[in-house]
Structure 1
Amino acid sequence: MAERSRARPAGKTTTRKKPSTGTSATRRAAPRRWSQRVTKQSDALDLDRGVFKLSSARRIAASLKRSAERSKRRKAGAYRSALSMLTFYINRAGKNLPKAQRDRLQRAKGELKRLFGRE
């Protein structure tokens, strides 16, 4: 048998195969975006599930206030932590929000301010 040469022909390059993007068990559990991971696993607040999808700005603000006041891990004050999480969601995690939901979240900022007596 003839021995094969390991040298590649001139002008030809090899390409690496991309890793599979299939849904393995570990891949399924991981959030798709870093902002989604921050929203779910923030070290500052333990948010109620679906808090940003609530139907009223007042309920969103009340839930954020409750979460911020209960948290023992936050570095800043409760108001600042709650407002930061809301602003983060609006800017990053919710950048493709429908206008009605974005407006509701903006109103929740005002409600949060009122709840904390910062008006």
Structure 2
Amino acid sequence: MRSEFQRLDEATRSLTQSESRFRALTENTSDIVFIVGAKGLFTYASPAAARIVGIEEKELLGRRPGGYTHDDDKPTVMAGIRQATNNAGQTVSIGTIRVRHHDGHWLHLEGMYTA
């Protein structure tokens, strides 16, 4: 019984450390990092999203990424997502796409996906 609690405690500590490393990487980078969940909705947006795209994380959570992508670029984005999903662990570059800034103008950003 004691060893089971020890394993649980070690796993909890390891998860906490992993989350701390993830946040240190994503919250202090100039790159935008998004996490989209299995339902296709934003579940995380790094602080760079607010700095670059002008949209705070709380505005993005629970929304679909397609609402911010130029219509002409949506097929490229969807193909990249499918390719990343089918090749778990590999990073897929989709090149430059247009993403709408909060004030309405279009930004040209490089898109990459990892599933």
TM-score of the pair, normalised by structure 1: 0.27
Mark the structure with the bigger radius of gyration: 1
Choose between structure 1 and 2 for higher RCO, CA contacts under 8 A separated by at least 6 residues.
Answer: 1
TM-score of the pair, normalised by structure 2: 0.27
Higher strand share: 2
